[in-house]
Structure 1
């Protein structure tokens, strides 16, 4: 079959683009079996079926096209866009991950010099930016599960590759969440296993720095994970309560305001121990964190998260006070000032939150009372000036939503 040319489509290929738009996976599967249908055919703009499916957010369709050999790195688009770029623009993290897992290149630029991550950031799809910046293929980790050279056994037992890859791929760098990921897998939550995993993280960190296309961001993340695994191992050696004790230490807040001092110091120490002192990223992190007094903003976690994942600090989202997961919705029923994923996270944090909960409740009540007083003054002031009935009704409904 001839090489695809822009706009040179058979009737079946034209129909394929239509069923992709409609999201009819069954019909698309039938068409892909036709002899006159090329999975990498190009429309008049140079878009492949995979690009269309990615941009329209059709995950099942993307999976089908990849199974039929779709070229994830095709860049015949008139502006140099790739399927990964379209996935980022769509805002679908599952499709973005699918493109990456299929071998999508992250450093390709379009006609205006933007990568997929930069394009996603430009349109505000920060979750997709995070997925791209944190992607680490399983194949790269599996390299360490096979003996190399004269080695009699691999550096990483194959049974640990899956659990460790899950930790690596986490876009939530909150140390509590990381420890929870370790604790939930019995294979990983052992001193010997953690030691081997930590060594692999150090090797990957070194490789990221020394390779030709140096990746300081990934190196920093691997170093951070290595430090966390080391801390988990030390707690497993010394504590009877296992990793629950480490989680409790990370969540423990100071009496005055509940700020987790141990967690802050731990993250700062992880950054300080980064072994490549000349790294630009390390210097940026130090300049951002060093002048800040512990307990003030920005925290070490927020600075590290923004540097590694690409998430900006002013994102309009709620994060769990315990584990840092995005999208938390359940607030403390007493003070309403802290937010959690679920009752498990609230219970985990209650031992430290209860010390400041009453103070926060009093602050909230004072704020509400002050707001009510100001609204009353404004209302009385308007009445004295002889406002119309219409003005009074408008003011009432405005106040109701304050």
Structure 2
């Protein structure tokens, strides 16, 4: 069959493009069953039905087209756009993940030299950027479930491939979230299983760094997961309460301000032990993190997450203090500054939060009183001031935990970061060069 030409569509194919825009899945299914309809037909701009469905955010339509053999890597579009690029532009996380799982190539660039992740970042669809940057196909992992070369047995048991893949593609890099994923899966919460998993991750790291197209970002993520797995092993072998002890250690905050001191040191040590010392990404991370005293912003977790996921919208989102889940919306009823995604996380974090909860409440109330007084003073001294517009709170050393923005006392700051450390922990193997440049994220929207 001759390849489709732009604009060369039959009447039924034109009808298919129309019903895709309308979201009529049943009618689209009927049309796709016709011999006169090609699933990869091109309109006058070179867009396939899958591109139209992805751009419109029609997930069920995309699923139907993929079932009928839609080509996810077609780039006959007049500007070189692919279905993955349109999925990223639409902001649909479901469609983006669906197209990636169907085999979409993430490194293809359009006519202006931008990848799908970069296009999504340009229009502010950072969740899609994160999914693209963290994607690792199941097929790439499955190859380790089969004996390679002279090996008599596979390096990874088939039963572990699924649970390990789920952790590899996770977009929540909070160490507690990863430990909980291990803890909640009986197949993974075993010393021998974790040992096999982290050894496979180490092989992937080596492959990323030795292949022709070096992938330092993926290598760093695999190293981070491998390091957490190894720490899980040590707790499983040495502690009676198994992984609960590791979770508590990662959550425990300083008595003075609640800052997770051990967690910060843990992530810094992980980065320091990245085996490829010459890696540009490692040097960028070190230059960003090393000069920062523990307790100040940016935290090691925020820098590492931004580097790996490509997210640049941290200030616009709120994360669970306990597990790092995005868009957490439940606050401590006492201090109203610490955020959680559910009651389980609140209970899990209470053992350490209760030590500083009242302090945070008092600090918030003082801050609110100061802001009200300042606002009232401005209204009294200026006849031209804008009616009842809110004033922006001035930055303080507690600015990341206390930012009242609404009448009901709710806050909008990040949780658990930004406190001033008592003393800087020496990092002998980290440079202390005073540079403030942040690591180059995989995808940036500077256009």
User: What's the TM-score once normalised by structure 2's chain length?
Assistant: 0.85
In the aligned structure 2, how far is the partner of 1:158 from the partner of 1:253? 39
1:281 has 2:276 as partner: no
Structure 2 partner of 1:76: 76
Structure 1 partner of 2:428: none
- Give the alignment's Cα RMSD to 1 decimal: 1.7
1:179 has 2:186 as partner: no
Structure 1 partner of 2:59: 59
Structure 1 partner of 2:14: 14
Cα contact 1:302–1:313 (8 A) shared by 2: no
Q: Secondary structure at the match of 1:81?
A: coil
Alignment of structure 1 residues 197-208 onto 2, 5 Å: 197-208=197-208
In the aligned structure 2, how far is the partner of 1:377 from the partner of 1:8? 70
Cα contact 1:54–1:90 (8 A) shared by 2: yes
In the aligned structure 2, how far is the partner of 1:291 from the partner of 1:45? 51
1:109-149 alpha-carbon deviations (Å, 9 max, x no partner): 10011111111111111111111110000000000011112
1:371 positional shift: 2.2
1:244 positional shift: 1.0
Structure 1 residues 55, 315: CA separation in 2 closer, same or farther (over 3 Å shift)?
Answer: farther
Which structure has the higher relative contact order (CA within 8 Å, separation 6+)?
2
1:375 positional shift: 3.5
Cα contact 1:109–1:116 (8 A) shared by 2: yes
In the aligned structure 2, how far is the partner of 1:109 from the partner of 1:380? 57
Number of residue-to-residue matches in the alignment: 394
In the aligned structure 1, how far is the partner of 2:164 from the partner of 2:297? 31
In the aligned structure 2, how far is the partner of 1:201 from the partner of 1:67? 32
Structure 1 partner of 2:164: 164
Cα contact 1:175–1:250 (8 A) shared by 2: yes
1:328 positional shift: 0.1
1:377 positional shift: 3.1
Structure 2 partner of 1:49: 49
User: What's the TM-score once normalised by structure 1's chain length?
Assistant: 0.95
Gaps of 5+ in 1: none
1:376 positional shift: 3.5
Gaps of 5+ in 2: 392-404, 408-447
Structure 1 partner of 2:102: 102
Structure 1 partner of 2:293: 293
Structure 2 partner of 1:353: 353
1:401 positional shift: 6.6
Structure 1 partner of 2:4: 4
Structure 1 partner of 2:433: none
Question: Which of the two has greater helix per residue?
Answer: 1
Structure 2 partner of 1:334: 334
Cα contact 2:126–2:313 (8 A) shared by 1: no
1:381 positional shift: 4.2
Cα contact 2:208–2:214 (8 A) shared by 1: yes
1:309-345 alpha-carbon deviations (Å, 9 max, x no partner): 1011544111001111101000110011110001101
In the aligned structure 1, how far is the partner of 2:89 from the partner of 2:209? 30
Rg comparison, structure with higher value: 1
Alignment of structure 1 residues 2-401 onto 2, 5 Å: 2-312=2-312, 314-381=314-381, 395=387
In the aligned structure 1, how far is the partner of 2:287 from the partner of 2:313? 17
**Moved runs in structure 1, 4+ residues, more than 6 A?**
397-402
Cα contact 1:87–1:96 (8 A) shared by 2: yes
